[in-house]
Amino acid sequence: MADLQNERVAVYIDFDNIVMSWYDRVHGRNAYSRDRQKIMQDLTANEVAERLSAATIDVGAIIDYAASFGTLVLTRAYADWSSPVNAEYQTQLVARAVDLVQLFPAAAYAKNGADIRLAVDTVEDMFRLEDLTHVVIVAGDSDYVPLAQRCKRLGRFVVGVGVSGSTAKSLAAACDRFDAYDTLPGVTAPSADSAGTRKSRGRKKAVDPGADLLERALRLENDREDAEWQHASAVKSLIKRLDPSFSEKTLGHRSFTDFVKAHPKVAEMDESGNIVLIRLAADR
């Protein structure tokens, strides 16, 4: 099992790219381009608001996925934050300690605006922070291929995240690991369900935040280790990275094992050996 104590991760998010790509994934090819004028005019209009809501980005899923590789040293999101669409995300981004890098309108919508700034910052950070071990690039453009290759040449493990159908195959190939945003734990893949149905599912899942956090941690650990059973200590460490405020005692449990046992629909536990092991419940 990898030792995450010395793994230090930097995250770079081309936020305009991920927002527009996910909108297209949910509503169809080039949907954002077709709807851009309506969105800019009034994003509170009923039809526009519903379409935006159905294509909401789960910022937490991205940050939690990145945290599964180690300690987050820095996290930056690049966009024109004066844009109403992006401004909707500012509160939750700041709550997750994401540094918002402002791209002024002329740069934000011109080709390579975010790409160049993000690439320059990334290379600068790699020389400035020599202990960085992982670089997570959240984007989909082939323009980021040289950046991924440079990061690898400088000895960093490069992780890519992009939206299915909107990510260049060359970018995925240039990374050490690439995962679709659609497949991250906590993200609901597009379906025929209405926006209202998806909202209802989200509210249902949020009823027990402890269970949601446990399930997400187990899924992330399973993906990283490619093993069914996980050490309880490793799962707890990951949960603490996902939510530093987590405390089983605050939730009314004497120990972490008691916390896990309180969620039998989420996790199963094996205490037969010297090391306590946990896995996702069979029906998850």
Q: Is 244 exposed, middle or buried (0-12, 13-18, 19+ CB in 10 A)?
A: exposed
Look up tokens 């149905």; give the residue.
197
Residue 73 and residue 195 in one domain? yes
- Shared domain for 128 and 63, answered yes or no, is yes
Dihedral of the alpha carbons of 21, 23, 28, 31, in degrees to the nearest 10: -100
pLDDT at 190: 79
Q: Find the CATH number of the domain harbouring 37.
A: 3.40.50.1010
In this structure, the answer to whether residues 17 and 143 fall within a common structural domain is yes
CB 1 within 8 A of CB 234: yes
Q: What pLDDT does residue 5 have?
A: 63
- Asked if residues 13 and 76 have their Cβ atoms less than 8 Å apart, the reply is yes
**Whether residue 243 is found in the same domain as residue 102:** no
pLDDT of residue 204: 41
Residue 116 CA: distances (Å) to CA of 9, 24, 146: 21, 24, 11
Examine the domain organization and report whether 28 and 123 are in the same domain: yes
- The predicted pLDDT at position 24 comes to 96
Do 161 and 255 belong to one domain?
A: no
Of 205, 238, 266, at which residue does a domain stop?
205
DSSP 8-state class, residue 188: P
Q: What pLDDT is recorded for position 223?
A: 85
Do 228 and 242 fall into the same domain? yes
Say whether both 168 and 78 belong to one domain: yes
Q: Please, how many CA atoms are within 13 Å of residue 241, restricted to the half-sphere of its CB?
A: 28
Same domain, 115 and 256: no
CATH number at residue 238: 3.30.420.610
- Domain shared by 200 and 143, yes or no: yes
Q: What is the DSSP letter of 143?
A: G
Closest CA to 90 of 53, 59, 115, 121: 59
pLDDT, one tens digit for every residue, the chain (284 residues): 445 568 999 999 999 999 999 999 999 999 999 999 999 889 889 999 999 999 999 999 999 999 999 999 999 999 999 889 999 999 999 999 999 999 876 544 445 578 899 999 999 999 999 999 999 999 999 999 999 999 999 999 999 999 998 999 999 999 999 999 998 988 987 764 434 434 433 334 445 789 989 999 999 998 887 789 999 999 999 998 888 778 898 889 999 999 999 999 999 999 999 999 999 998 87
Last residue of a domain, one of 205, 229, 247: 205
Domain around 265: 209-280
Q: HSE on the CB side for 138, CA within 13 Å?
A: 30
Chain-centroid distance, C-alpha 103? 21
pLDDT of residue 102: 93
158-163-168-173 Cα dihedral, nearest 10 degrees = 30
Give me the pLDDT at residue 188, please.
Answer: 85
Pairing of strands 8-14, 134-138: parallel
- Tell me how many domains the chain contains: 2
Question: How many residues are recorded in the chain?
Answer: 284
**Do 182 and 240 share a domain, yes or no?**
no
Q: Which of 236, 224, 214 is nearest to 280 (CA)?
A: 214
> What is the model's pTM?
0.79
User: 30 and 142 share a domain?
Assistant: yes
53, 76 Cβ separation under 8 angstroms: no
Chosen domain end from 180, 205, 230:
205
